[in-house]
């Protein structure tokens, strides 16, 4: 590089104009001016480049804030829903536990009912022969018993026989009917009564009052109160009583009809069953 001389030799790179150095700083100023001309447009471009990321950052932050607020609201709702589910789960757990206990009880109950069912079937198989035997014994009892209320008792036995022979009648109903017949026959032993009926006394049929003394014995007193009789179960016939028993029988019938106070009466009983 050549140097511009103005009277003296100058240092390379620096232009000295005049002795007073008026243009000494000309080149540095020009360099600074060129630098500024080159940098300022760069700063403008940089500003534009920086504005876009900043705006994106602000938008991102705002979006993040909105999402955070929505999440907080949703989180609160989910927390409430979760607590509700916990309560429901606890209630369902308790219900399930109770149902398991109930299931165990029902299993035991089913086993018990199954045993009862089997026992009931066994009893039903054995019950019918037993009821038939009881019916047959009732028929024998009435046939061999003292002849009181024969029509009523025979009708009852006939109805009982029809029930026992009906296949459509359940075992329970047959059992009930047999028990009713037994109860009626047993009740005869706890009661006394007087009713009118004809009996065969010797060769004649005589109308009179029948006095039934429970199931122990039955007595007869004619309407004219001149003859008395007692039914002899062992001989299955009426036997004439001594006239001395007529007054006692008369008082007994009055007591049975509740027309006379109760008192002790002596009456001949004889045998109360066939040997």
pLDDT tens digit at each of 275 positions of the chain: 333 344 444 444 444 444 445 455 566 666 666 656 555 555 555 556 666 777 787 888 888 888 888 999 988 999 999 999 999 999 999 999 999 999 999 999 999 999 998 888 888 788 889 999 999 999 998 888 888 888 899 999 999 999 999 989 988 899 999 999 999 998 988 888 898 888 888 788 889 999 988 888 889 999 888 889 998 887 888 888 888 889 999 999 998 888 888 888 888 876 655 54
pLDDT value at residue 137 = 93
Quote the pTM value: 0.52
Phi, psi (deg, nearest 5) at residue 216: -75, -50
CB burial readout 200-219, b (16+ within 10 A) else e? ebeeeebebbbbbbebebbb
Give the three-state DSSP class for 18. Answer: coil
pLDDT value at residue 162 = 94
In this structure, what token pair is assigned to residue 26? 């000309």
pLDDT value at residue 84 = 92
Write out the H or E segment, with its range, that includes residue 209.
strand 204-213
């Amino acid at each position: 590089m050549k140097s511009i001389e103005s009277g003296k030799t100058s240092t390379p790179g620096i232009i000295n104009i005049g002795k007073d150095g008026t243009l000494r700083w000309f080149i540095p100023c020009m360099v600074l001016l060129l630098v500024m001309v080159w940098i300022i447009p760069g700063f403008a471009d940089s500003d534009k480049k920086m504005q876009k990321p900043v705006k994106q950052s602000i938008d991102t932050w705002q979006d993040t804030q909105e999402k955070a607020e929505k999440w907080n609201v949703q989180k609160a709702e989910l927390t409430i829903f979760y607590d509700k589910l916990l309560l429901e789960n606890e209630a369902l757990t308790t219900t399930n536990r109770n149902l398991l206990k109930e299931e165990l009880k029902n299993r035991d109950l089913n086993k018990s009912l199954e045993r009862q069912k089997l026992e009931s079937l066994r009893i039903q198989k054995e019950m019918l022969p037993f009821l038939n035997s009881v019916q047959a014994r009732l028929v024998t009892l009435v046939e061999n018993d003292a002849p009181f209320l024969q029509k009523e008792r025979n009708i009852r036995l006939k109805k009982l026989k029809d029930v026992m022979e009906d296949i459509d009648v359940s075992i329970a109903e047959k059992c009930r009917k047999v028990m009713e017949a037994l109860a009626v026959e047993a009740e005869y032993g706890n009661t006394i009564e007087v009713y009118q009926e004809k009996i065969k006394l010797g060769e004649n049929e005589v109308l009179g009052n029948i006095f039934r003394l429970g199931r122990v014995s039955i007595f007869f007193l004619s309407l004219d109160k001149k003859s008395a009789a007692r039914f002899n179960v062992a001989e299955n016939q009426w036997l004439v009583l001594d006239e001395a028993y007529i007054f006692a029988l008369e008082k007994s019938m009055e007591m049975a009809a509740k027309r006379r106070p109760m008192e002790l009466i002596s009456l001949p009983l004889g045998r109360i069953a066939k040997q």
